[in-house]
Amino acid sequence: MRILFLACLSPKTGNCTTAERIRDHIESAGHVCVLRDTREFSSASEITLLMSQDREPFDAALAIHLFKGGRLLLDAGVPFGVVFGGTDINEDVKDGHKRSVMEEVLHRARFAVAFTEEMKQKAKTYLDCDITEVYVQAQGIETRPSCDFSWNDFLHTSVIKQKRQVNEQGGRK
């Protein structure tokens, strides 16, 4: 399967990191994932043009952000899904025009992914969405502290050089 994936790809941002992780996951499953920056496109018609001019057709599309990415897929002509997060639910929903577009995206998407159960519930509260398939997938990795973890042992076995700590008298420990 060949998938067009739209996301905001400003370097060193959470969006970019998340998009790269999702792309890597899609590709590790054996699919082709073409990741493009939403800032390259100003309208859905530009995506339609991209899809018609590309040598190999896209089978599906995916976007991060209901407004920034999802709006570009409304006329794509392929099934699409969307991943939404805090910007959509906490900020863009306040703007009437953006909210209307986001609702249209949710109506036409095959599925949606929220990063938390709380975001999923807020979407159902703030957006008129009849979409039945909203999945919750955590954005990050959850870790828990271990009572027997030693930073010194970890750094020593990892061959990471430590700066020597200075004691109260200014001497090295």
Mean pLDDT of the region 141-167: 64
More confident residue, 125 or 35: 35
Interval 60-70 mean pLDDT: 96
> What's this model's pTM, rounded to 2 decimal places?
0.78
Q: What is 2-140's CATH number?
A: 3.40.50.2000
- Residue 144 corresponds to which tokens in the numbers above? 């828990």
**Identity at 3, one-letter amino acid code:** I
Joined tokens for residue 166 = 């200075």
